[in-house]
Amino acid sequence: MSGSTPPQPAGRGILLAILAYGIWGFLPLFFLLLAPANAIEIVGWRVLFSLVLCAILISVTRAWGRLSGLLRDRSVMLTLLLAGILILINWLVYVFATLNHEVIQASLGYFTNPIVTVLLGVFVLGERLRPLQWVSIGVSAVAVLVISINYGAFPWIALALAFSFGLYGLIKKRVGGRVDALSGLTIETMWLAPIAVAQLIFVAATSGLTIGTLSILQTVSMCLVGGVTAVPLLLFAGAARRLPLTVIGLTQYLTPIMQLLIGVFLLHEGMPMPRLIGFILVWVALIVLTLDRFLSTRSRLGYVTST
Task: Work out the burial of residue 1: count CB atoms within 10 Å of its CB; fewer than 13 is exposed, 13-18 middle, 19 or more buried.
Answer: exposed
Handedness of CA 188, 193, 194, 196 (dihedral sign): positive
Candidates 115, 155, 109; CA nearest to 260 is 109
Classify residue 2: in a domain, yes or no.
no
Q: What is the pLDDT of residues 81-110, one digit of tens each?
A: 999 999 999 999 999 999 999 999 999 999
Q: What is the pLDDT of residue 116?
A: 86
Contacts of 47 (CB under 8 A, 6+ apart): 88, 189, 192, 193, 195, 196
Q: Count up the domains in the chain and report the number.
A: 1
Classify residue 70: in a domain, yes or no.
yes
Classify residue 4: in a domain, yes or no.
no
pTM score of the predicted model: 0.88
Q: What is the DSSP letter of 2?
A: -
Contacts of 268 (CB under 8 A, 6+ apart): none
- Containing structural domain, residue 223: 9-306
Q: What is the pLDDT of residue 306?
A: 40
Classify residue 3: in a domain, yes or no.
no
- Torsions phi, psi for 283 (to 5 deg): -65, -35
The ranges of the chain with pLDDT < 50 are 1-7, 303-307
How many residues can be counted in the chain? 307
Classify residue 243: in a domain, yes or no.
yes
Both ends of the chain: CA-CA distance in Å? Answer: 41
